[in-house]
């Protein structure tokens, strides 16, 4: 900082003069009442927001439970409820006509 | 510290009287800092209230009361920066012409010493505001805190939460830009 030039010093002096030219202003009489009004207003907003968020969460939980219950109810049109995918596949492709068996295995089956 | 830790702890527990005391202790200083940072006297109270509003709702996040002041400054800087960003409009200060006119008017009025001093102060304010137009809002705030508010690099480090070297580099660059504008203006105005 030893290389500070004339301009630097002038700028420092200008900043100092600026500090003196801008004293700390006094607050108006309404400062505190307005501040508390703003705090109250923000608090009311946050309270309403929290209530809305709680209501939303409750509704989401209720909807999830309802959907869960709905999914567990057996439906008659869906065939036998105990039938698994493998069972359904086996039924669709009986061993008499085993498309899903490899050619070598099929030759073996025919030889029998 | 203008207040003791106990008061801050009470304010953290939403004690309205304690919070009031904290505001009253720091109000003048914060108003002064904001008035120099944003340079628009009509909005100073509004921004200061925003600072204390943020303080009220975030005070419980303050872990150690020892860092209260840098933290409050950080809130102040952020609020001022948000304000400046919202404003965004860079005022075109026709500084030299305007001030000359004002000085001439003041002389013509054969004004008193007080009037003359007031004009000089106004000229200085406009001059610095004009010079700081050469840097971004963020750099303007940083320069103000260092050069006008007189904060140390250590304090700035706590406020900005960046290391001292990064701050030095940023300050140096910002100051160089202001110096360039200062030099250019000096040449334009000519000797004397």
Its ipTM equals 0.73
Q: Is residue B33 part of a domain?
A: yes
Which residues fall within 8 angstroms of residue B119, CB to CB, at 6 or more apart? B102, B103, B106, B111
Q: Which chain A residues are closer than 8 Å to B149 by Cβ?
A: 19
Write out chain B residues lying below 8 Å of A10, CB-based.
182, 186
Confidence of residue B24 (pLDDT cuts 50, 70, 90): very high
In a domain? residue B76 = yes
Give CA–CA dist B134/B155, Å, rounded. 25
Given an 8 Å threshold on Cβ–Cβ distance, is B182 in contact with A14?
yes
- Would you say residue B131 lies in a domain? no
Residue B171 lies in a domain: no
Q: Which CATH number fits the domain that encloses residue B70? A: 1.10.1740.10
Kindly report which listed range (A22-26, B13-17, B48-52) carries the lowest average pLDDT score.
A22-26
How much is the average pLDDT of B107-132? 79
Within a domain: residue B136?
no
Q: How many CB pairs under 8 A join A and B?
A: 82
* Helices B164-189 and B95-108: angle between axes, nearest 10 degrees: 60
A24: nearest CA in chain B? B32
A19 to B148: CB separation less than 8 angstroms, yes or no:
yes
How does residue B111 score in pLDDT terms, banded at 50, 70 and 90?
low
* Pairwise CB contact (< 8 Å): B32 & A22: yes
Q: Per-residue confidence at B85, pLDDT binned at 50, 70, 90?
A: confident
- pLDDT higher for A39 or B185? A39
How far is A55 from chain B, CA to nearest CA, in Å? Answer: 23
**What is the per-residue pLDDT for A4?**
66
| A39–B53 CB contact, under 8 Å | yes
Taking the C-alpha atoms of residue B138 and residue B77, their distance in angstroms, rounded to an integer, is 9
- Full domain range(s) for residue B72: 1-89
A50 — contact with chain B (CB < 8 Å)?
Answer: no
* Rounded CA Rg of chain A: 41
Closest by Cα among A25, A30, A37, A28 to B56 = A37
Strongest mean pLDDT among A25-29, A55-59, B65-69, B182-186:
A55-59
Q: Does A103 touch chain B (CB under 8 A)?
A: no
Question: Number of folded domains in chain B?
Answer: 1
């Amino acid at each position: 900082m030893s290389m500070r030039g004339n301009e630097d010093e002038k700028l420092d002096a200008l900043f100092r003069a600026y500090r003196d030219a801008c004293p700390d202003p006094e607050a108006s009489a309404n400062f505190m009442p307005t501040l508390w009004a703003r705090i109250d207003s923000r608090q009311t907003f946050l309270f309403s927001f929290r209530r809305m968020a709680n209501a939303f969460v409750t509704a989401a939980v209720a909807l999830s439970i309802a959907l869960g219950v709905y999914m567990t109810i057996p439906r008659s049109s869906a065939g036998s409820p105990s039938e698994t995918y493998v069972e359904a596949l086996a039924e669709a492709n009986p061993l008499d006509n085993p498309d899903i068996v490899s050619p070598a295995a099929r030759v073996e089956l025919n030889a029998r | 510290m203008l207040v003791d830790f106990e008061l801050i702890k009470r304010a953290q527990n939403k004690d309205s009287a304690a919070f009031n005391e904290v505001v009253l202790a720091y109000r003048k200083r914060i108003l002064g800092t904001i008035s120099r940072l944003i340079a628009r006297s009509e909005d100073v109270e509004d921004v200061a209230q925003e600072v204390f509003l943020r303080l009220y709702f975030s005070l419980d996040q303050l872990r150690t009361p020892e860092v209260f002041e840098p933290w409050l400054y950080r809130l102040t800087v952020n609020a001022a920066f948000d304000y400046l960003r919202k404003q965004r409009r860079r005022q075109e200060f026709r500084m030299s012409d305007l001030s000359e006119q004002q000085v001439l008017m003041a002389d013509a009025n054969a004004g008193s010493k007080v009037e003359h001093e007031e004009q000089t102060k106004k000229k200085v304010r406009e001059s610095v505001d004009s010079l700081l137009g050469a840097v971004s809002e963020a750099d303007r705030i940083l320069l103000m805190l260092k050069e006008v508010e007189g904060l140390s690099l250590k304090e700035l480090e706590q406020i900005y939460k960046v290391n001292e070297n990064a701050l030095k580099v940023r300050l140096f660059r910002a100051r160089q830009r202001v110096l360039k504008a200062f030099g250019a203006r000096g040449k334009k105005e000519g000797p004397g």
